[in-house]
Amino acid sequence: MTDVLRDLAARIRAEVADLSHTAELAQRRWDKATADSDYLGSVALDLESFYQGVERCLALVAKIVDGRVPSGEQWHQALLAQMAAEVEGVRPAVISEEAKAPLDRLRGFRHVARNVYAFNLSPDKISGLVLGLPLVLELVQADLQAFAGFLEEAASR
């Protein structure tokens, strides 16, 4: 199990780097989208990709550490709730309560971005998400890096 935990920590750390890059892309494209709405679809994809990256990490933790990934229609919401809670004697919370709410907004937007034509996207909705992304990134990076450290410490015991 120690190699599995180390591998999971490494995957999380790699994903954190990709999240940072994705957030930078979203910001750059948003700057262009404010002048040219043809970029809105790209920004929406970046926001969706950001959330999916976080969700990949959370699903891996749920599968490998918790031994259970939520299922059913609301599994995305259930996964966030599961990862924001400590599992006593097993692991601390993976994401903070502070990060959970903005991640849930991104989760909801992911659904919209997948189900509407890009020309129907709301620039106001995207604006709020993009402007909040630096804080979300900071919170998620801190949470995931701390959890990767927990995994590495657990692997060395």
pLDDT value of position 61: 98
Per-residue pLDDT tens digits for 122-139: 888 899 999 999 999 999
Give the model's pLDDT for residue 8: 98
- pLDDT (tens digit per residue) in 92-133: 999 999 999 999 999 999 988 887 777 778 888 899 999 999
Structural domains of the chain, with CATH: 2-155 (1.20.120)
Three-class SS of residue 27? helix
Contact partners, residue 148, CB within 8 Å, separation at least 6: 8, 9, 10, 12, 13, 16
Q: What is the pLDDT of residue 37?
A: 83
Beta bridge partners of 91: 87
| Mean pLDDT rounded to a whole number for the chain | 94
Residue of 99, 101, 102 whose CA lies nearest to 142 = 99
Determine contact, residues 62/68, Cβ cutoff 8 Å.
yes
Q: Are 102 and 139 in contact (CB under 8 A)?
A: yes
Per-residue pLDDT at 38: 84
pLDDT of residue 108: 92
Query: CA geometry: angle at 21 spanning 41 and 155, to 5°?
Result: 130
**Distance between CA atoms of residues 148 and 50, nearest Å:** 18
Q: What is the pLDDT of residues 3-56, one digit of tens each?
A: 999 999 999 999 999 999 999 999 999 999 988 888 899 999 999 999 999 999
Average pLDDT over residues 51-66: 97
